[in-house]
Amino acid sequence: MTIQTLHTGLDTIWVVLTAAMIILMEGGFALLEAGFVRHKNNVNIIMKIFVDITIGTLCFYLIGFALMYGKDIAGMIGSSGFMLNGDLAHLDLSVSMDTYWLFQAAFVIAVISIVSGAVAERFNFRAYILYAVLMTTLIYPIAGHWVWGGGWLGNLGMLDFAGSAVIHALGGCSALAAAIFIGPRKGKFTPEGTSTIALPSNLPLASVGAFLLWFGWFGFNAGSTLSATDARIGHIAIATMLSAASGGAITMLYTLFRYNRSDAASVINGSLAGLVGITAGCAFVSDSAAILIGAVSGMLMLFATDWLEAKQIDDPVGAFPVHAISGIWGTFAVGLFAKDGGLFHSGGWHLLGVQVLGLIVLCVWGFALTWFGLKLIQLWIPVRSTEEEEEMGLDISYHGILAAYQEHEFIHHEDRYADIEKDHDLD
C-alpha cells in the first residue's frame, strides 16, 4: 500500500463519515420543527423532511450537481456532470466523485429543510414537493456554483468555508419569501395586529433536535476540509463549539435578565444561530472572534424574531432569524476577522466588499426565485392549505394520521381511514 493510497482511503472515510453526520441533521430538523409546531402538524413536518431527503437527493443527482459543479460557463452555471457523467475532471479531488457527491448532497438537503420550518402548519404538501424540486435543481445549485463551483463570486475571492451564505443566508431568505407569500397561520395575528402565541407542542423534543443539529454541525464545518489529515480540523471544531456555546449563553442570559425567565425556545435558537454564524469563518477566524461571532448571532436572532412579529410575518421555528440573519452576519464577519485578508487584520477593504456583494446577490437570488417559483406553482395547484385543512391539522389532511401519538395498539388495515373520513367528512 502506497502513502497516496492510504491518504485517499483516510480522506474517503472522513468525507463519508461527515456526510453521514450532516444527513443525520435531518433528524435534528425533524425533531426541532415538530417540537416547535402543534401536535396536529407533527407528522406533516416529518413528511416534508422525507421530501427533502428523497426528492431532493434525486433531483440533485439528476440535475443540481451538474449545474453547481459542472464545467463552468461564463462564471454563471455548470454544464457537465448530469447523473455524475461527463466532464468533471476540473474538480481535482482527493476522493472519488461518488464520495464528493454524497457530501454535497447532504448540503442541499439541509438548504431545503430550512424553508420547511418557516412555512409549517399551512403549506400544501403537493406544492411543497414541487418547491423542493425547484430549490434542489435550480435555486441552490446555481448560487452554489457562483461561490464554490468556479463561478464569478468565488473568482472575486468570496470566502464561505461551509455555507453561512450559500446555505443559510440563501435558505433563510428563501424561507422569508415563502412565509410572506403564503401568509400567517390562521389566528396568529388578530385583526388589530397583535400577535398571539402558538405554544410549541414539545420543547424537549425540539431541544433533542437542536442537539442533533449541533452534533451534525461538526461534520458540516470540519468535513468541508474534505481531508482527514487537514491540520485545520481541530481549530474548525473548537471554533464551531465556542460560537454555538456563545450564541446559546447570550440568549439565556439576555432573556433571564430582561424577562426574569430563561426562555427555552430562544436558547435553542440562540445556539443554532451561533452555529450558523461561524459556518463561513470557522477555518479563517480566531477562537476569540468565534465567541464574538456567536454572541452577536444570538442577539441578532432575538432582534430579528421581534421584527418578524412586528411585521406580522409568521415563521413558526425562526428560520429567517436563525439562518438568514446569522448567516448574513457570519459571512460579513469573515471580512472583518479573517486572519488572512480581514479588515481587522490589516487586510484592507477588498474581502469585506466581496463578502457584502456576495451576500446581496445570494439573498436577492433566494428571495426572488422562491417568490416567482411559488407564483408559478400557484398557477397549477394552491400553495396554501385550505382553512379546513389547516383547522383539522395537516397530519390528517395530507397523511391520514389522526394524531401523531396513537393510543390504539392495532387497527384493521381496511379501516385505517374509515373513521377519519366519517368524523371529518373527508372525500
How far is it, in rounded angstroms, from Cα 87 to Cα 13? 25
Domains and their CATH numbers in the chain: 3-399 (1.10.3430.10)
Q: Is this model's pTM higher than 0.85 or not?
A: yes
- Convert the pLDDT of each residue in 254-303 to its tens digit: 999 999 999 999 999 999 999 999 999 999 999 999 999 999 999 999 99
What is the per-residue pLDDT across 315-332, written as a single tens digit (0 to 9) for each?
999 999 999 999 999 999
At 383, is the secondary structure helix, strand, or coil?
Answer: coil
Per residue, the 3-state secondary structure of 365-381, as one string, reads HHHHHHHHHHHHHHHHC
How is residue 342 annotated by DSSP? -
User: CA-CA distance, 179 to 314, in Å (whole number)?
Assistant: 6
Asked if residue 400 lies in contact with residue 417, where contact means CB atoms within 8 angstroms, the answer is yes
Q: Give, rounded to a whole angstrom, the gap between the first and last alpha carbons of the chain.
A: 65
The confidence band for 426, taking pLDDT boundaries of 50, 70 and 90, is very low
